Amino acid sequence: MKVLIAGASGSIGGEILKHLLQQNEITKIIALTRKPIPDLPSKAENILVPDFGDLEHLDDEKWEKIRDADAMVWAIGTYDLNEDVNTRYPLAFQDAFVARLPAPQSGKASKFRFILLSGAFVEPDQTRTLFFLPQQRKAKGVTESKTIEFAEQHKEVWEALVIRPSGILIGKSLQNSVASFVLGTMLVKGEELGAFVGELVVKGSEETVIKNSMIVARGRELLHEAE
């Protein structure tokens, strides 16, 4: 299985990448980043993408390396109103990639699996009144809705899964330990998220939108099984 990940140079994407590398079913990982990632293992390759909003100008050699992938984790995002990063880039990738998908092959999964890293408080309903970060939450809600709509429009070759983790704790600092103790499953540890996404990439899900509670519960189960 060949998997793409966008955002692997960030702390959250890096944690997900670590768990993708542990999946035996995944034989090749390509990290799409704007800056190089040093010291990747042989199972992974880094392809530089100068502008995620201008994929039409990505050279043919790079497209040939990624167009036959089976799945992708989109882990690029910000917490502010950056429309390019949070909406335009993921939607532009989907448009550009679906046009380059190879014809279905015998023995290969017929659908490309696109996994969007969203957030627990994202709001797709643009008419709802919100009092906490309303613009940011609704903007990412647009990305969610359009990603799901895109999969429906291309359902013969494409499926979309949206994961909604709450606050993500990266690392084992004292501050994170206290936060995890006080807030429990309201937060998700980076390794729980990574373990969950690693399995999700390989096995998929019957649920299109996956909530934080499921991410935490299954992530913990997987980490316990791996001990």
pLDDT score recorded for residue 106 = 47
* Residue ranges making up the domain that contains 183: 2-226
Cα angle for residues 138, 78, 67 (degrees, 5° grid) = 95
List the chain pLDDT tens, one digit each, 227 residues: 999 999 999 889 999 999 999 999 999 999 999 999 999 999 999 999 988 888 888 899 999 999 999 999 999 988 888 899 999 999 999 999 999 988 765 455 579 999 999 988 888 888 899 888 888 889 999 999 999 999 999 999 999 999 999 877 676 766 656 555 445 566 888 899 999 999 999 999 999 999 999 999 999 999 999 87
Which of 12, 13, 11 lies closest to 3, judged by CA? 13
Which of 222, 48, 62 lies closest to 214, judged by CA? 222
pLDDT score recorded for residue 7 = 93
d(CA 175, CA 114): 33
d(CA 125, CA 46): 37
* CA atoms within a 13 Å half-sphere pointing along the CA-CB vector of 179: 15
pLDDT score recorded for residue 214 = 94
Which of 19, 156, 145 lies closest to 75, judged by CA? 19
Q: Which CATH number covers residue 97?
A: 3.40.50.720
Which of 44, 1, 30, 65 lies closest to 204, judged by CA? 1
pLDDT score recorded for residue 168 = 73
Question: Tokens standing for 178?
Answer: 């206290």
- Residue indicated by tokens 């519960």: 217
Say how many domains are in the chain: 1
d(CA 14, CA 148): 25
CB atoms within 10 A of CB 105: 9
